[in-house]
Amino acid sequence: MPILEVEHIQKYFDRTEVLKDISFSLEKGQVLSIIGSSGSGKTTLLRCLNFLERPDKGIIRVKGETLFDAGDPATQQEAEIRKKRLHFGLVFQSFHLFPQYTALGNVMLAKELLAKGQPGYDARKKQAHKEIEEQAKELLQQMGLSDRMENYPHQLSGGQCQRVAIARALALQPDILCFDEPTSALDPELTGEVLKVMRELAEQNTTMVIVTHEMAFARDVASQVIFMDDGHILEQGDPRQVFENPKEERTRQFLSRFTQG
């Protein structure tokens, strides 16, 4: 059974149809790369998965459980949606770190707030805090940021910020981690360090949906590629096939922009 199933998602902004009948599925431990030109709906799709936007039609299922069904209001209750979000993580293009917390604080905050809501928290407050801190430190270490834990975001480079953001998303152990052009806001010399940690995550079989313009990276890391065009999935398949042998003329045109110069 796929870990993620998306069926016939449609999304309108006012009267513009931004997502047009999007369907795909993803197996656990696999990486899906989404490519496509600006305005094709990639960000909107990720925002739908994370319930920042509500699709007008369609179904989202994780591990067989229907998290969202546009036709079933019972799946759209606010309090439930908050819990459902935890199946997904999202790394934004421009990080959105919390400026008043250190790198470590950024990674710990949500997990601590979540722990506070659980029964019996007060009794084991110290213990819980320690566990969360340990886990956060481990994640930052994994991101190569051992010596940056006490720094505030404004003291970090873009690449470091994005790695903190990845650790922050991982702290909640999402089933599926989404990335929206994680290196697009970075200076070219800083993209490498972010792609490196993402590559490592892929090697550890983290299930990921990655929107990116890094074609070489997408080809190497992805198990599946989707090419989006004007709200449609125009082409979908094995990265080899999509990159080396695209079926559609539009895909060919799009890719040629990245291989030339």
Ligand X SMILES: Nc1ncnc2c1ncn2[C@@H]1O[C@H](COP(=O)(O)OP(=O)(O)O)[C@@H](O)[C@H]1O
Query: Which of 43, 160, 162, 212 forms a contact with Mg ion (CB under 5 A)?
Result: 43
Is 177 a binder of other proteins (CB under 8 A)?
no
Residues 192-251 that bind other proteins (CB under 8 A): none
Positive or negative, the Cα torsion across 157, 162, 163, 164?
A: positive
Answer for the pair 157, 178: CB distance below 8 angstroms, yes or no.
no
Collapsing DSSP states into helix, strand and coil, what is residue 208? strand
Residues 51-90 that bind other proteins (CB under 8 A): 51-52, 82-83, 85-86, 88-90
Residues 19-58 that bind ligand X (CB under 6 A): 36, 38-44
Is 97 a binder of other proteins (CB under 8 A)?
yes
Is 129 a binder of other proteins (CB under 8 A)?
no
Running DSSP on this structure, what letter comes out for residue 256?
H
Cβ of residue 188: shortest distance to ligand X, in angstroms? 20
Is 94 a binder of other proteins (CB under 8 A)?
yes
Q: Which stretch binds other proteins (CB under 8 A): 6-14, 29-37, 152-160, 208-216?
A: 152-160
Cβ burial of 243 (10 Å; 0-12, 13-18, 19+) is buried
Answer for the pair 107, 167: CB distance below 8 angstroms, yes or no.
yes
Rounded CA gap, 221 and 243, in Å?
Answer: 13
Answer for the pair 27, 3: CB distance below 8 angstroms, yes or no.
yes
Nearer to ligand X, 90 or 104 (CB): 90
Rounded CA gap, 209 and 217, in Å?
Answer: 13
Residues that bind other proteins (CB under 8 A): 50-52, 82-83, 85-86, 88-90, 92, 94, 96-100, 109-110, 113-114, 152-154, 168-169, 172
